[in-house]
Amino acid sequence: MLSRRLIETAAMTIIGDGMLCLVSPRRHISLWRTGPWRAVSEPLIRHPDVTRLLGAIGIGFGIWLAWRQEPEVPEVDVAESLPRRWIKRLENSTR
């Protein structure tokens, strides 16, 4: 269960990062210009369309990853749906 939550969190992070790359690629990548990321960030700052493409790919990957974590949905008996159970309970309590 914990691993599913971690993967779901990673998917949300990847989707968010991809959106930032789409919306404002130079600003987003310029935050990573220091340290070991400098060699990767410089070409991406010079080519914002490549950054947008990578962001779109990241969004797609994040969505795919999140969908893989979708739990099995149990079958629901429509006749015993929540509102119907409330109505039955109200009817029984007034008698």
Mean pLDDT in order along the chain per 10 residues (95 residues): 84 97 95 89 94 97 90 64 70 73
Q: How high is the pLDDT of residue 21?
A: 96
- Which residues, 6+ apart, have CB-to-CB distance to 36 below 8 Å? none
- Cα dist from 88 to 10, 76, 77, 78, 83, whole Å: 43, 17, 15, 14, 9
- In the chain, what are the domain boundaries? 2-94
